[in-house]
Amino acid sequence: MHSRTLVLRFPKEIVDKPIIISLVRDYNLDFNILKAQIFPRKEGLLVLELRGTAEDFEKGIRYLEESGVLVEPVGQGIRRDDERCFQCGACTAVCPTGALSVKKPQMEVEFDAERCSACELCVKTCPVRAMIVTFDKAIA
């Protein structure tokens, strides 16, 4: 079984088309949506985990790209610079997966890289840029 976390960017011209259902129906792929920001007549963003055989996965990715979807694989190179972080907790308010949370009663920000979907919301929110997200651009 092949599994990858992907960021899919939908141009406004195709955001209202039922593209994802074809991954299940025509390419035998399963998915788990981790984050979605899709608005009618505007660009859309979808972070999902996609699973299936390597052959079906490759065909499904080709279908997405041919449909006009920009496919960006997400790697596991996600970390927090503990020397920069001053535990303000701003990142915990925007984290959609709960990878960032406040440990009580110490009031320390904990980061669970395994739960992180690399949506980059914490990077934009952190006032000292303590969150560092790296992306693996190779689809394997």
Q: What is the mean pLDDT of the chain?
A: 86
Distance between terminal CA atoms of the chain? Answer: 12
Tell me how crowded residue 79 is: count the other CB atoms within 10 A of its CB.
14
Instruction: Give the pLDDT confidence score for residue 7 in this predicted structure.
Output: 87
Class of domain 2-74: alpha beta
Structure tokens at 38: 């899709």
Domain 2-74 and domain 78-132 have a common topology: yes
pLDDT at 140 over 60: no
For the chain, which residues make up each domain, given as ranges?
A: 2-74, 78-132
For the purposes of burial, counting CB atoms within 10 Å of the CB of 34, is it exposed (0-12), middle (13-18) or buried (19 or more)?
A: buried
Instruction: Give the pLDDT confidence score for residue 137 in this predicted structure.
Output: 42
Domain 78-132 has CATH 1.10.10.10: no
Mean pLDDT computed over 2-24:
89
pLDDT digits (tens, 9 = 90+) for 98-139: 889 999 999 999 998 777 877 788 888 999 999 887 655 443
pLDDT digits (tens, 9 = 90+) for 24-50: 999 999 998 888 888 778 888 888 889
